Amino acid sequence: MTGGGGGIGRAIARRLAADGARVVVNDLDAAQARAVAGEIGGLAVPGDAGTARGIDDLIGAAREFLGEIDIYCSNAGTGGGRGPEEPDEVWQRVWEVNTMAHVRAARSLLPGWLDRGSGTFVVTASAAGLLTMLGSAPYSVTKHAAVGFAEWLAATYAHRGLAVHCVCPQGVRTQMLANSSRAGEVVLADSAIEPSQVADALAAALAAGTFLVLPHPEVRDYYVRRAADTDRWLRGMSRMQQRVEAPAESTGEPA
């Protein structure tokens, strides 16, 4: 479980443990990783999931602790950046955490899973990966890539026993949402849910074998509308962007 020290990751770790799993908790914040692992009787493996070394160390420690890795929750994510004006290093960091962390974990885990004919890979993406996220091009682009990679894994390896689940919530009451820009406030805040609700939705998807995990059911309708009439959907998003750009006082929102 990457990003397991808080927010969605902590909620999923708690839910998996409550359902009988032994959980390895990874987080960049070592104290938080240890706190969650101590709470659920798991193993803390602090480290940076946005690096190849961090993924290798996590999977190595998990194999030593568990013997076999049955479910891998590639949950760590990061925001940051607004648009193309951001320097390459900002784009690269978001890319490493939000996309390449999934690729590197799959690279390590797939050979063993395919040999034994079973394994479960959970990608925490975002509704931004199905739609878009106003205010942050790096986040939106890398979450689209995460969804695309999860889809590719499912299409390529389902017949060989790989189960893939792609978690795509909208706003969730986490520190990332609290730190978001005005776009986060306008687009996500009103419909934000608790991290435990995301964990519940994932548990249901694991039981049912469902690829797309939508803790906000309305996202399915938005996704359909986007595909059915993309130009109309983009016009609606443009209107939303104008709300984001408007001064808070002109929209009647708290300044």
Please identify every residue annotated as catalytic.
139
Distance CA 165, CA 150 (A): 7
Helix (H, G, I), strand (E, B) or coil at 151: helix
Q: Which of 180, 24, 176 is nearest to 97 (CA)?
A: 176
189's CB contacts (< 8 A; 6+ apart) are: 171, 177
Q: What are phi and psi of 64, to 5 degrees?
A: -65, -40
Locate tokens 């706190």: which residue? 35
| Residue closest to 148 by CA, chosen among 126, 170, 169, 175 | 126
What the block records as the tokens of 155 is 């299409």
Neighbouring C-beta atoms of residue 64, cutoff 10 Å = 11
Burial environment of residue 68 by CB neighbours within 10 A (0 to 12, 13 to 18, 19 or more): exposed
Q: Is 177 exposed, middle or buried (0-12, 13-18, 19+ CB in 10 A)?
A: middle
The CA distances from residue 246 to 195, 220, 225, 233, 250, in Å, are 30, 28, 26, 20, 7
